[in-house]
A and B are shown apart, each in its own frame.
Chain A
């Protein structure tokens, strides 16, 4: 399915009137001033999988118009954003061919599948969003940049301290091959907290390691680490949470309904804004390869009050 977004000027004149007016102004400008370079942009948004992308795209489009208002002869009509849904509209290969034919100014890849489908288009800058572990896909390509999905530990524990100030000991099970840097970063950024980190090399070890955390931690930190955090181990985490009255801190809202007490996760609108800024930088001449991958700058905290109540937690005032 293909959607065409038309970004319009703030004033909504009737279309014919708008065209006539702009045509008249254009003719006058052509006679009186030097014509500026064309600055209207064609952007293709490639979506892969069931992601909460609408909020991201909307924030991206709004921020882009703010940063780069459409102007110049080419932009008599506003920026065009064309959406391509993988799986429903096109397969990955067909999407790449179609995008190449459209020759857009920018590709916005939402999700892992989208990034995979456009990573071989090297002539068009690509900004990815909502992609976990993107470095495994991007490799050495220089036309790709984006926003990390990882939530910086500092941001997470700032929120924890804000709403659960009594939490001082944090238990975490991690696969050293995948998440040691995250654990180190947390310990480094929040020296006031005691991190009880237990390394696991397989999911089967998780229930046993959780037994070792009994009575030693105030909070169990869930990492986006496939070795220790997967459907096989989740029940163990939440069972531990209930049995030991220890809240689970998750990195996505999806775990709240499974039994996590709170989730500190990325803000989709902020991601859209960040992506718009990257796009603006690219449109103003900075090569994508020179733009470093950015971290999210804002987080969103969600609390499952049923769980906190069952666990007997005291939430600080102002908790969402």
Chain B
């Protein structure tokens, strides 16, 4: 089963085929190199073994040269024994120049014996040694190394007995032959060890190499596998194809699609150029039309601004009218204090005149009876005029008159303050003072409005006092009008960081939810025709925005309305500079703004 799956993977997967091919090449190369490595190492080892054996036999030949010269058997023992101590040396033979065996030692009976004791072979070996110097033979279990025993010395002469020769005249004389049989046991073990070590290394290398190759192929082919996976996902009909045919099909399909796309692009390009020209012409016409419309709009805007200014002026006049009405009402009230007291003062003054005349007549009485009579008259007059309460009443009347006079004086004073707020420059003012100076001019034609002040600690605010006063007046007027039968207007002020929060909460009839979003719209009003222009809150919103602030409104029908004016303590520039939208909002006032809670 696995084999079938492997073969199917191999048939379909290009990457698998590449990996298998590379692994196969590595295996073959590894085997090839391993084989040659073993051969090289075995050759090298054999060469070393032969070299070692030749060195041993050379050493033997040199060490026995004197013994061969003298042919004294006793002299062979030590040099041969030294060589035979070597573990692999199994036999040593020494021959003289005639081929006669002078000495032989062996550790065990072994196959070299046959060859070292074969006269015909020995004769051939000696002949070959005379020609080539040294040689070696192999048997099944041993190497046999041969070396001539040569007496090498500087040419002997009488002079050379005394002095060192120059080494040029060297005399060599062949005196015999040395043979050394070396067992192949160590050599064979060494070769087997080389094969084992090299084979093990090759296997390790192969294992590591195959793993590395598979990892590298997998890593390097990851983009290709990803592409193939995407192709298979997008082309279900190509499933079952092998990778190469899949790529080939995809490539052909892409070429076809590209050709179609280029064809379409060419067609679109041709049509697009025409359409561009057509659209360009249309755009030119539209541009001209827009320019004309723009020109007309600019004219209309100018007209609107003019009309707006007129309306604002009208609203000002209306506000002034309301203010004058309020002022008149206040002054009338004040004057009423005085004028209402005047008849009583006049009557009391007459009573005091009659009493003074009685006392004058009493003073002029000549007799006691006349004095008693006139005194009785005075007493009757005092009783008549309620002399005991006369001065108290008089004091009360004077107090009323004084109250009226004071009220008139305060109204005049507030009017003076109010009149000074027409300055159009930004300046730092105390908003409490501005509110207080505006309250007297609140439209108070309805019921009595009780003012509740909850002033917090607020610093001076940089603003245009006249404009801000106009805002407050609009809000106060609306509150007063909303509380037609009287009510309470609570004014709360707070400051949080660099902003001032001013809340005006009335207990009036409230604003219906459906019209609440429209109250800042220009010309929107719920008042009777002729009573309001519908611009008050819109202008107020515009002024507050001009100061970088906001107005928020919150209302519940039947419970009242709360306006909250939020102003920055210090706008960074003058009007029309830091709030460039202010001029434009003359005609584009925003709608309802959700109320936010007053900071504590």
Binding site for B on A (CB under 8 A): 49-52, 111-112, 130-133, 149, 204, 207-208, 224, 226, 229-232, 235-236, 239, 251-252, 254, 265
Chain A residues within 8 Å of B528, by CB: none
Residues of B59-104 contacting chain A, CB below 8 A: 66, 69-70, 72, 75
Chain B residues within 8 Å of A236, by CB: 66, 70
- CB–CB B153/A132 < 8 A: no
Chain A CB within 8 A of B157 CB: yes
Chain A residues within 8 Å of B164, by CB: 50, 254
Residue in A131, A208, A231, A254 whose CB lies within 8 Å of B70: A208
Chain B residues within 8 Å of A232, by CB: 66, 69, 151, 153
A167 to B166, CA, bound (A): 35
Q: Nearest chain A CB to B100's CB is how many angstroms away?
A: 16
A229 to B157, CA, bound (A): 10
Chain A residues within 8 Å of B227, by CB: none
- CB–CB B69/A111 < 8 A: no
Who on chain A is nearest to B165 by CB?
A50
A133 to B157, CA, bound (A): 10
- CB–CB A229/B165 < 8 A: no
Residue in A51, A204, A226, A231 whose CB lies within 8 Å of B158: A226
- CB–CB B161/A224 < 8 A: yes
A112 to B158, CA, bound (A): 9
Q: Nearest chain B CB to A258's CB is how many angstroms away?
A: 11
- CB–CB B163/A252 < 8 A: yes
Q: A235-B66, A236-B66 are in contact. Are A251 and B162 (CB under 8 A)?
A: yes
- CB–CB A49/B153 < 8 A: no
Chain A CB within 8 A of B244 CB: no
Who on chain A is nearest to B154 by CB?
A231
A260 to B252, CA, bound (A): 100
Among A112, A130, A230, max chain B CB count under 10 A is at A230
* Apart from the given pairs A112-B158, A132-B157, 9 other A-B contacts in the complex at a CB distance below 8 Å: A49-B163, A49-B166, A50-B166, A132-B158, A132-B161, A207-B72, A208-B72, A232-B66, A232-B69
- CB–CB B157/A130 < 8 A: no
A-B CB proximity, top 4 nearest = A231-B153, A132-B158, A50-B166, A207-B70
Chain A CB within 8 A of B159 CB: yes
Q: A204-B69, A207-B66, A232-B69 are in contact. Are A49 and B159 (CB under 8 A)?
A: yes
Who on chain A is nearest to B152 by CB?
A231
Chain B residues within 8 Å of A252, by CB: 161-163
Chain A CB within 8 A of B156 CB: yes
Q: A49-B166, A50-B166 are in contact. Are A229 and B70 (CB under 8 A)?
A: no
Q: Nearest chain A CB to B152's CB is how many angstroms away?
A: 8
Chain A residues within 8 Å of B66, by CB: 207, 232, 235-236, 239
Q: Nearest chain A CB to B81's CB is how many angstroms away?
A: 16
Q: Offer 5 A-B interface pairs, CB within 8 angstroms, sorted by A.
A: A49-B163, A50-B165, A130-B159, A224-B162, A230-B153
Chain B interface size, as a band, is: 10 to 19
- CB–CB B156/A149 < 8 A: no
Among A132, A229, A239, max chain B CB count under 10 A is at A132
Chain B residues within 8 Å of A265, by CB: 162
Who on chain A is nearest to B66 by CB?
A235
- CB–CB B159/A229 < 8 A: no
A50 to B153, CA, bound (A): 17
> Which secondary structure dominates where chain B touches chain A?
mixed
A231 to B155, CA, bound (A): 9
Binding site for A on B (CB under 8 A): 66, 69-70, 72, 75, 151, 153-154, 156-159, 161-166
Chain A residues within 8 Å of B72, by CB: 207-208
Chain B residues within 8 Å of A231, by CB: 151, 153-154, 156
Q: A204-B69, A208-B70 are in contact. Are A112 and B161 (CB under 8 A)?
A: no
Chain A residues within 8 Å of B70, by CB: 204, 207-208, 236
Chain B residues within 8 Å of A149, by CB: 162
A273 to B510, CA, bound (A): 155
Chain A residues within 8 Å of B156, by CB: 226, 230-231
Chain B residues within 8 Å of A235, by CB: 66
Chain B residues within 8 Å of A131, by CB: 159
A207 to B158, CA, bound (A): 21
A133 to B162, CA, bound (A): 12
A132 to B166, CA, bound (A): 17
Who on chain B is nearest to A132 by CB?
B158
- CB–CB A50/B157 < 8 A: no
Q: Nearest chain B CB to A170's CB is how many angstroms away?
A: 19
Who on chain B is nearest to A203 by CB?
B69
A236 to B75, CA, bound (A): 10
A130 to B157, CA, bound (A): 13
A59 to B4, CA, bound (A): 104
Residue in B158, B163, B165, B166 whose CB lies within 8 Å of A52: B163
- CB–CB B158/A133 < 8 A: yes
Q: A204-B70, A208-B70, A231-B151 are in contact. Are A50 and B163 (CB under 8 A)?
A: yes
Q: A207-B66, A232-B66 are in contact. Are A254 and B163 (CB under 8 A)?
A: yes
Among B66, B69, B162, max chain A CB count under 10 A is at B162
- CB–CB B163/A251 < 8 A: no
Among B75, B158, B166, max chain A CB count under 10 A is at B158
A132 to B161, CA, bound (A): 9
Chain A residues within 8 Å of B154, by CB: 231
Q: Nearest chain B CB to A200's CB is how many angstroms away?
A: 12
Q: A231-B151, A232-B153, A236-B66 are in contact. Are A226 and B161 (CB under 8 A)?
A: yes
Q: Nearest chain A CB to B9's CB is how many angstroms away?
A: 80
Chain A residues within 8 Å of B75, by CB: 207
Q: Nearest chain B CB to A280's CB is how many angstroms away?
A: 26
A112 to B387, CA, bound (A): 192
Among A112, A131, A229, A231, max chain B CB count under 10 A is at A231
A51 to B66, CA, bound (A): 29
Who on chain A is nearest to B72 by CB?
A207
Chain B residues within 8 Å of A204, by CB: 69-70
Who on chain B is nearest to A178 by CB?
B158
Q: Nearest chain B CB to A232's CB is how many angstroms away?
A: 6
A226 to B75, CA, bound (A): 23
Chain B residues within 8 Å of A229, by CB: 161
A236 to B156, CA, bound (A): 16
Chain B residues within 8 Å of A208, by CB: 70, 72
Q: A207-B70, A231-B154 are in contact. Are A51 and B161 (CB under 8 A)?
A: no
Chain A residues within 8 Å of B165, by CB: 50
A149 to B164, CA, bound (A): 15
A169 to B162, CA, bound (A): 25
A160 to B165, CA, bound (A): 27
Chain B residues within 8 Å of A230, by CB: 153, 156
Among B70, B72, B75, B166, max chain A CB count under 10 A is at B70
Who on chain B is nearest to A206 by CB?
B70
Who on chain B is nearest to A254 by CB?
B164
Q: Nearest chain A CB to B126's CB is how many angstroms away?
A: 22
Q: Nearest chain B CB to A268's CB is how many angstroms away?
A: 11
Q: Nearest chain A CB to B215's CB is how many angstroms away?
A: 68
- CB–CB A130/B153 < 8 A: no
